[in-house]
């Protein structure tokens, strides 16, 4: 389930989207779009941990790794 909130600056560059899939909730904030991809911040809501990403592919890897490493205590997000 994806909920989108309109939160843009004058240039229309910022947008927040909340993604829930039953395993976790992630708040994705797109800060800019350069080189045909996104740059921004993703926050794992349940763990209250945030990390910056430089591309849409990196965003997907971060979210995917959070489930693979959920037993790790040192770092919840890993690329």
| 23-57 pLDDT, tens digit each | 788 999 999 998 889 999 999 988 899 999 999 99
- Domains of the chain by residue range: 2-68
CA angle 73, 19, 75 (to 5 degrees): 15
Q: Which of 72, 59, 54, 52 is nearest to 19 (CA)?
A: 59
Residue 71's pLDDT band (cuts 50, 70, 90): low
- Provide the pLDDT for residue 23: 72
Q: Residue 5 above 80 pLDDT?
A: no
Kindly report the pTM of this predicted structure. 0.65
| 51-66 pLDDT, tens digit each | 999 999 999 999 888 8
């Amino acid at each position: 389930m994806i909920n989108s909130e309109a939160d843009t600056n004058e240039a229309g560059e910022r947008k927040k989207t909340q993604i829930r899939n039953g395993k976790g909730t992630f708040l994705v904030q797109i800060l800019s779009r350069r080189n045909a991809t996104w740059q921004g911040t993703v926050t794992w809501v349940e763990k209250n941990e945030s990390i910056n990403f430089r591309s849409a592919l990196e965003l997907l890897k971060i979210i995917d790794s959070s489930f693979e490493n959920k037993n790790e205590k040192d770092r919840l997000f890993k690329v």
